[in-house]
Structure 1
Amino acid sequence: MTASSPPGLARFNAAGQDAARAALHEICTSTAWADDVLAGRPYHDAEELLTASDAAVARLGEAALAEAMAGHPPIGRPRPGDAVSAREQRGMADAPAALRAEVAALNLAYQERFGHVFLICATGLTAEQLRDALRRRLGNTAEREREVLRGELAGINRLRLARLAVQAPAGEGTARP
């Protein structure tokens, strides 16, 4: 580990292929993305890792992008036990019932229109902002939405990788990503 390497990044670089792949799978379920990111190890710093992730997202074909999206629950409905998605979607947690119902209906309309889950980097967004994004993006063409979706996936992966990179070893008081 270099002086500038955070502890999580040093562990990721030193991990065996299977362990590193499992850590990446927790971040993004696209096998192609994980393969690309793994191929760049070792990373000298977190920014190099994030840049590699962005490039890997940009190279994802349709099947790999669909595989990545399949790993994300709908907004407002994180999977039971999925602390990461629950944390990222915190803005929906205390939303009034009417707003939650509206977001659920918009999620369904989005899935019917585009054939996949609505993906957004929800960290820090309120329920109203999430609803408004759903409304806006329902008006996108399929091509425009694919571009937006790719950018959102890159943002989600960046946030999750940044948490992985700074993660302290178990027992040092830093929560897992």
Structure 2
Amino acid sequence: MNLETFNSLPKEQLFTELEKCCGSKKWIQAMIKARPFKDIESIHCISDRIWSSVANEDILEAFEHHPQIGNIESLKQKFASTSHWASSEQKATEKASDEVLFALKKGNEDYLQRFGFIFIVCATGKTAQEML
């Protein structure tokens, strides 16, 4: 999508598109209100500023929209239209041994139980073993 299209999309359609990137409704609504953007850099800058101003519950809401590391089936179900984004980020888990995948699954479950939300990591360029 180019900048002109981004700036001119109807609110409902832009909401759907932005929700693919971040599940926080507050962040999405603030991004929609911030339009029009003059360039891509301003989108990034304003996005970061909005994100740094949201409350903890908004962050947790965004986490709820994110698949767990290694849970490719969940990723496919929840993000069918963006699975190529997240699956490429989590590509290393596809080559991991069953032992490592089980450890990731167990670690995810333990983390969720302890903290009340899923473990989030930038998986790009990391092996499954490194994510452990």
Distance 1:10 1:90 in 2: 32
Q: State the secondary structure of the residue aligned to 1:27.
A: coil
2:45 pairs with 1:51: yes
Distance in 2, Cα, partners of 1:101 & 1:9: 42
Count of residue correspondences: 125
TM-score (norm 2): 0.87
Matches within 5 A, 1:64-103: 64-78=58-72, 79=74, 80-81=76-77, 82=79, 83=83, 84-103=85-104
Query: What's the counterpart of residue 106 of structure 2?
Result: 105
Equivalence map 1:22-41=2 (5 Å): 22-41=16-35
Give the alignment's Cα RMSD to 1 decimal.
1.4
Q: CA deviation at 1:55?
A: 1.1
Q: Which consecutive unaligned segments of at least 5 residues does structure 2 have?
A: none
Q: Does residue 127 of structure 1 match 2:121?
A: no
Identity of aligned residues (%): 27
User: Which of 1 and 2 has higher RCO (CA within 8 Å, sep 6+)?
Assistant: 1
CA distance in 2, matches of 1:46, 1:86: 24
CA shift for structure 1 position 53: 1.1
| TM, length-normalised to structure 1 | 0.66
How far has the Cα of 1:128 moved from its partner?
1.6
5+ long unaligned stretches in structure 1: 1-6, 132-177
CA deviations 1:18-43 (Å, max 9, x no partner) are: 11111101111110000111121111
Which of 24-33 and 117-126 deviates more?
A: 117-126
Matching residue's letter, 1:14: S
Distance 2:91 2:47 in 1: 24
Mapped to 2, the partners of 1:120 and 1:9 lie a distance apart of 28
Separation in structure 1 between the aligned mates of residue 109 and residue 92 of structure 2, nearest angstrom? 19
C-alpha distance in 1 between matches for 2:126 and 2:33: 33
Aligned counterpart, 2:116:
115
Letter in 2 for 1:120: V
1:61 pairs with one of 39, 44, 55: 55
Range moving further from structure 2, 63-72 or 119-128:
119-128
